[in-house]
Amino acid sequence: MLAAMPPTSPNPRNGGETHIRERVRDRADACPGALRLHRADDGGLARLRLPTGVVTARQVAALADAADRLGDGRIGVTSRGNLDLRGLPDDCGLALAELLGGAGLLPSAAHERVRNMVVSPLAGIDGRGFGDAQAWARELDALLCARAWTTGLSGRFLFAVDDGRGDVAPLGGDVTLLAEPEGRALVRIGGLAWRVGAGDAPVAALAAAEAFLAVAREAGTGAWRVAELPPGTTLEGAVTERLAAAGVEAVRVDAGPGMADAAPGRAGALPVAARADAGGLPEAAAPPEPGLVGDRAVSVVAPLGRVTSEQFRALAAGPADEVRVTPWRGFVVTGLPGRAAAEERLAALDAAGYLTRPGSPWLAVSACTGRPGCGKALADVRADARPLDDAALRGLPVHWSGCDRRCGHPQGDWVDVLATGDGTYDITVRTARRDNDDAQAQAQAQR
Ligand code: SF4
């Protein structure tokens, strides 16, 4: 939330240019976590971060049990690929921590809310991409959990770890790793990019995050995310300094086009020009299509991003199955023994209620929590949500919101279906550019 506060002193390190700095956050980060529950109208909400997106069959079972024993029997998937448990009683904290900890889902209690990553979900499965994004994410997660200072990051600070196909790079990460051919990688932060060796990528991402924290503290405006830093900050110098201190050989490169502008939605990718010699996206990739992925994996989508515990259990029917949660409210199940098993699993998941085929208009539809779970909601948007008939809007993701916070809305261009409170909805096409303009106008209006 943007809030008007008295301006602080001009920054003396910006070459004499005067910038008025106002606080952009006036309260502590209250993002829910697995151990810090948010009190919603339908009970406690716990949010579990999955840095690599991967859950084993044992962990799938533990989460489904937690939803049954402690929550409302359902599991939500967020637009960052996190998992939500809702309807939790006030006194469930210890039992939930034991359940999640026992399943290996809480490696560090102190860091559980800062392990925010989106990772290319098909990395290593379909033969695309240039780097092992899963290995990068595991290493970056270990680095995050091994350092005390990282707990200073907000629960919204996001790392995007892209294997080079350009699927999660446009999702608005504060720090983005993008694999390149020939063992190279880009690390991007705040419109700046550096090229590093692939082996240094996780350390480089951590160095960039550390630079952000230092710059944010110096600015004193309470920024949680890179986009909230005030103009005139010294991010470039801070990143360069920390990369060098970490022993990373890095070359500063042109950052290329803004990734948020290029975000592909579920309903269709926006083409981005190849920029082989710079730090832009090579090509924007659409989310995994539902269906078979090769012979040993399947991709499915949870309608409106929420499943029952039984549906969740159905994902991992074998002990060797691995489930990857996607930032498009879907799941990729890997580790299947062959094509027949993959076809069988896809049929079972179709029968369980997942979206399993490309072309369903429901793939483009998402919704916030709405009534009765959210006290701000003006409507039960999940009951109302449906694909739109308007042919002119076809091809764009459609997001239904119960109020103007528009929680969980897509990136890039999308259709905004907003409850008005009188039983109707306003429908507007929003673009990344318009969203940026609106945010700036809101900040101006509050000065
Ligand atoms: S968009 Fe509004 S109604 Fe929907 S979950 Fe967010 S705060 Fe609640």
Domain presence at residue 153: yes
Ligand 1 proximity of 401 Cβ (cutoff 6 Å):
yes
Bridge partners of residue 196, in order along the sequence: 185, 250
Q: Are residues 300 and 401 in the same domain?
A: no
- 175-180 and 159-162 beta bridge pairing: parallel
The confidence score (pLDDT) of residue 22 equals 66
Integer Cα distance of 186 and 329 in angstroms:
26
Of 264, 285, 306, at which residue does a domain stop?
Answer: 285
Domain presence at residue 14: no
Number of separate domains in the chain: 3
How remote is the CA of residue 241 from the centroid of ligand 1, in Å? Answer: 40
How remote is the CA of residue 407 from the centroid of ligand 1, in Å? Answer: 5
Q: Are residues 366 and 230 in the same domain?
A: no
Domain presence at residue 19: no
Residue bearing the CA closest to ligand 1, atom 2: 403
Q: Are residues 132 and 277 in the same domain?
A: yes
- Mean pLDDT within 3-25: 42
At 134-192, the pLDDT tens digits run 999 999 999 999 999 999 999 999 999 999 999 999 999 999 999 999 999 999 999 99
Query: What single DSSP character describes residue 151?
Result: G
At 72-124, the pLDDT tens digits run 999 999 999 999 999 999 999 999 999 999 999 999 999 999 999 999 999 99
| Coil/strand/helix, residue 31 | coil
How remote is the CA of residue 5 from the centroid of ligand 1, in Å? Answer: 25
The confidence score (pLDDT) of residue 78 equals 94
Mutate to test the pocket of ligand 1, among 78, 374, 426 (most ligand atoms within 8 A of CB): 374
Closest ligand 1 atom to the C-alpha of 406?
1
Ligand 1 proximity of 79 Cβ (cutoff 6 Å):
no
At 31, the pLDDT band (50, 70, 90 cuts) reads confident
Ligand 1 proximity of 405 Cβ (cutoff 6 Å):
yes
Q: Are residues 127 and 216 in the same domain?
A: yes
Of 334, 356, 378, at which residue does a domain stop?
Answer: 356
Of 285, 306, 332, at which residue does a domain stop?
Answer: 285
Domain presence at residue 164: yes
Domain presence at residue 114: no
Q: Are residues 253 and 151 in the same domain?
A: yes
The confidence score (pLDDT) of residue 151 equals 96
Domain presence at residue 70: yes
The confidence score (pLDDT) of residue 329 equals 95
Q: Are residues 256 and 298 in the same domain?
A: no
Q: Which two tokens stand for residue 438?
A: 């609106």
Assign residue 53 the CATH number of its domain. 3.90.480.10
| Coil/strand/helix, residue 292 | strand
At 431, the pLDDT band (50, 70, 90 cuts) reads confident
- Decide if 321 contacts 203 (C-beta within 8 A): no
Closest ligand 1 atom to the C-alpha of 419?
3
Domain presence at residue 17: no
How remote is the CA of residue 307 from the centroid of ligand 1, in Å? Answer: 19
Q: Are residues 203 and 298 in the same domain?
A: no
Q: Are residues 130 and 279 in the same domain?
A: yes
Domain residue limits at 232: 122-285
How remote is the CA of residue 42 from the centroid of ligand 1, in Å? Answer: 13
Q: Are residues 252 and 182 in the same domain?
A: yes
Query: What single DSSP character describes residue 232?
Result: T
Given a cut of 60, is residue 361 above it in pLDDT? yes
Which contacts (CB < 8 Å, 24+ apart) does range 286-289 have?
286/167, 287/167, 287/326, 287/327, 287/328, 287/330, 288/121, 288/122, 288/326, 288/328, 288/330, 288/332, 289/358
Q: Are residues 277 and 332 in the same domain?
A: no
Ligand 1 proximity of 403 Cβ (cutoff 6 Å):
yes
Q: Are residues 293 and 279 in the same domain?
A: no
How remote is the CA of residue 370 from the centroid of ligand 1, in Å? Answer: 6
Q: Are residues 127 and 99 in the same domain?
A: no
At 394-416, the pLDDT tens digits run 889 999 999 999 999 988 889 99
